[in-house]
Amino acid sequence: MIYHWQLIFLDSQGFSYVKRITASPVELHEREELLDENLIALIRVEKA
């Protein structure tokens, strides 16, 4: 199943930003974004 996900990041100055991606849970674990040390939250938003 494919979902929309929001990845929330916090930069070194304390500002947060959101990146939205569409992927299955398996594909999500292969994404480079999950390795980013600034990632603070991963939220499954809805089915695509």
Which of 17, 1, 2 has the alpha carbon at shortest distance from 36? 17
Question: pLDDT for 10-45, tens place per residue?
Answer: 999 999 999 999 999 999 999 999 999 999 999 999
Read off the pTM: 0.84
What's phi and psi for 46, nearest 5 deg? Answer: -165, 165
Confidence of residue 7 (pLDDT cuts 50, 70, 90): very high
pLDDT at 48 over 90: no
Nearest to 44 by CA among 22, 18, 27, 15: 22
Q: How far apart are CA 36 and CA 7, in angstroms?
A: 10
Element (H, E) at 25: helix 25-28
